[in-house]
Each structure stands twice: as structure tokens, then as C-alpha cells.
């Protein structure tokens, strides 16, 4: 269903509760190390400011497990957002209660406040109705711009929309439009690349993509489950033993559907899971029994890159190796470079893939880098995201 957006409603003078995803990484001194999620929400916030809305921002940060935690307060986020907006953003002491209500009542058109971490209340993740109603009492309307949290039915992402009208922000619209178009009407050839650790994390994605793509490239730790299912000995490489049967079935389905299913033919093997471990490139049928694969090899990287450069649409979720260690980053870097130089539509599905693109300085060269890890995975599975379903419908159809 098409969803209403901030452009479809009158916001002037209104109190607008905006759920954003400001769950950003920080160092030990609580300095923000990557503000991409904050910057991604700025267009929606500025749109509301310019039209005289009173903007009430809400987010989670970290995993405080329903209680106050000094390392998860929103203060550093308020400071960074103030710098990005060029105007003060007041951080309130809580997200509900009389003090918060009074502060919101005193707001003028164009003012912006940031509520304290919603996950300091256990009722947030429980999607408690009374807590959701308390959040809704702060505002006249709800804008969800937190795609990264849209797969969670929490009070501030789904419950609040039962009490006040909900619409999508610009970031939410972009995420759904871009990935929705790739799945529904992709420029072909349509290539999907999956990596990461476990096959079990990607079963739904594989099942959905096998009905849509022309080629599926598998790398990362999950590749070894497929290689073992083919009969290869993979040494001490990561294997999802419970999914060996599924891996074989998935490859059979790909053959039946005419989907090109590509696995590594060579890998970078190491003696230990350590940055300075002895390592060498070996064929997938020559992995030493006491070694493990930690990256795709150069031949595989070249083959994957060639497929990517010939694609009309590429969707990528999951790194090709342990890219955090430079010794095992070449496969992921090569894939990112191939996507960046591609003439097709290139979509990076959040999480570690997005982090890799940022690390290699290539994020700005992609068509779209998702702000949602888990949410992008569930979207690629074809699931309905609760935080999207709760928003008002414009008319039947596709975004």
C-alpha cells in the first residue's frame, strides 16, 4: 500500500512526534564515530521546521534494557544534531511525564526537542498501550522516519500510531521506494550478493530472492555451509551444520529456476582468527584441515566484480570476509569498488555492508545505502514491517 508522507499533511503549528533512528556508534568517551543516521533524518526535520511545526524527536540508543543507563543518554546526539541543523536542539530529561509535557507545551513553531532514550522504559519494547498513549499525548501527529527500527513493533514505532495519525518521513519513503522498486521492477540483470556469518540469518532473504533475481552471489562465512553441502572439506571455517540440508535445497531450486548461483572458488585461509595470523590463498577444495576461511580469494573477487559491473540492479547485504581486519578486507573492498563503478542501480542493505562502504570511502558512490540492518533484511525477505504498516494509506498500489 502507498503510505501518506509529511508532504501529504498540514504540519504548520502542529506538534509533530518524529521517530528517528539515532542509534549511532560511539567510542569509549561517547564521541559519535559515525553520524550517518543522524544526517539522514535532517531533511525531514528541516522540512518540518521550515513549515512551522513543533518538532519532538524520539529515538533509542544502545541496549539499556528498560532502565536508565548513563552510557545511553541522548546528550551527544542532541549536540551533533544541533551542529547539523545550525540551531539548538534541547534534550529533555525523559520521554514522558509532566516535565516533558510542560516543555513541549512551551515550544514555539520551528522549535526542536529531543526526548531522552525511549528504551529507558521497559514499556517501549513491550509496545505497552498506556506508554504509547503517553507518547501520543505529546503530539498532534506522528512521523516515522526510523526505517532502522521499523521492523520492531514498539510503542514509539507502532503503538503510537493507534492514538494519533501516522505518516512517513522522507528517509522512510526513500528506503521503501528504493528497495521496493528493486524487488518489484528491477533493471536487469538483477544481482543479489549475500554475505555475513550464518545461513540461518538469511534463509528468508534467499527464499524470496530466488524468485526474483538473475544471479545470487554468496560470500562471507555463510559460503562455507554451501561449500560443505557440495562436498568440500572446509577445515575450521564457520559452518551452520543445521542448515546443510537447506543449502543443498537452495542450490537445487536455483538450478530449477535458472538463477545463476555463485560460490567462492578460492578463499583466503588463516591459521587463526587473528589479524596477524599466517594466511594464504587456497582453492576451496584445498583448505587445510586446521585452518579457516576468512575472506573470498582474488579470483572469486574478480569474478564477482565482473558480474556486478554487468548488472542493471545490485542488492548487497553482508560482507565477503572479516573486513574489520585489513588482512581479510580485500574481498569486501573489491566488491564495494565494483558496485561503486557500476552503471546500474546499487543498493547496500545496511549493517556491516554499510559500515564497510563507509570504511572504504565508497558510500557516497552507491545509489542507496540503507540505514537499517535488520529492517533491510526483513524487507528483502518480503515481510511487512510493523512500523510501516501502522502508517496511513494514501491509496492502493505500490510506493
Positions annotated as catalytic residues are 37, 198, 351, 374
Q: Cβ contacts of residue 388 below 8 Å, gap of 6+?
A: 3, 144, 150, 168, 172, 176
Backbone angles phi, psi at 292, to 5 degrees: -135, 150
Cβ contacts of 323 within 8 Å, gap of 6 or more: 295, 329, 331, 332, 333, 352, 356, 359
State the virtual CA torsion across 280, 235, 351, 391 in degrees, nearest 10.
150
* Three-state secondary-structure class, residue 72: helix
Q: What is the DSSP letter of 168?
A: E
Strand partners, 191: 215, 314
Q: Which of 57, 39, 40 is nearest to 48 (CA)?
A: 57
Amino acid at each position: 500500500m502507498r503510505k501518506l508522507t509529511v508532504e501529504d499533511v498540514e504540519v504548520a503549528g502542529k506538534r509533530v512526534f518524529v521517530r528517528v533512528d539515532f542509534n549511532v556508534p560511539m567510542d569509549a568517551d561517547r564521541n559519535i564515530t559515525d553520524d550517518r543516521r543522524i544526517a539522514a533524518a535532517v531533511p525531514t526535520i528541516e522540512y518540518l521546521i521550515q513549515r512551522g511545526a513543533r518538532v519532538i524527536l524520539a529515538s533509542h540508543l544502545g541496549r539499556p534494557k528498560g532502565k536508565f543507563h548513563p552510557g545511553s543518554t541522548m546528550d551527544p546526539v542532541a549536540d551533533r544534531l544541533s551542529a547539523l541543523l545550525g540551531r539548538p536542539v534541547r534534550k529533555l530529561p525523559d520521554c514522558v511525564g509532566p516535565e516533558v509535557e510542560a516543555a513541549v507545551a512551551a515550544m514555539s513553531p520551528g522549535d526542536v526537542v529531543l526526548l531522552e532514550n525511549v528504551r529507558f522504559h521497559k514499556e517501549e519494547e513491550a509496545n505497552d498501550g498506556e506508554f504509547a498513549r503517553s507518547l501520543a499525548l505529546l503530539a498532534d501527529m506522528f512521523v516515522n522516519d526510523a526505517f532502522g527500527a521499523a521492523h520492531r513493533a514498539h510503542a514509539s514505532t507502532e503503538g503510537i500510531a493507534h492514538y494519533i495519525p501516522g505518516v512517513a518521513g522522507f528517509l522512510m519513503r526513500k528506503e521503501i521506494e528504493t528497495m521496493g522498486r528493486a524487488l518489484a521492477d528491477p533493471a536487469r540483470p538483477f544481482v543479489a550478493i549475500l554475505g555475513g556469518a550464518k545461513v540461518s540469518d538469511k534463509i528468508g532473504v534467499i527464499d524470496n530472492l530466488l524468485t526474483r533475481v538473475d544471479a545470487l552471489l554468496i560470500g562471507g562465512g555463510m559460503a562455507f555451509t554451501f561449500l560443505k553441502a557440495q562436498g568440500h572439506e572446509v577445515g575450521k571455517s564457520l559452518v551452520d551444520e543445521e542448515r546443510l540440508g537447506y543449502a543443498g535445497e537452495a542450490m537445487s531450486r536455483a538450478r530449477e529456476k535458472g538463477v545463476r548461483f555463485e560460490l567462492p572458488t578460492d578463499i583466503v585461509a588463516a591459521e587463526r582468527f587473528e589479524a596477524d595470523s599466517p594466511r594464504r590463498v587456497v582453492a576451496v577444495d584445498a583448505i587445510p584441515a586446521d585452518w579457516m576461511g576468512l575472506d573470498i580469494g582474488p579470483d572469486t573477487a574478480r569474478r564477482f566484480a565482473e558480474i556486478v559491473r554487468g548488472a542493471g540492479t545490485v542488492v548487497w547485504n553482508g560482507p565477503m570476509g572479516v573486513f574489520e581486519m585489513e588482512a581479510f578486507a580485500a574481498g569486501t573492498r573489491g566488491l564495494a569498488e565494483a558496485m561503486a563503478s557500476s552503471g546500474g542501480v546499487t543498493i547496500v542493505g545496511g549493517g556491516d555492508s554499510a559500515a564497510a562502504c563507509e570504511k572504504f570511502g565508497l558510500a557516497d558512490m552507491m545509489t542507496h545505502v540503507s540505514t537499517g540492518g535488520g529492517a533491510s533484511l526483513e524487507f528483502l525477505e518480503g515481510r511487512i514491517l510493523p512500523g510501516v504498516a501502522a502508517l496511513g494509506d494514501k491509496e492502493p498500489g505500490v510506493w
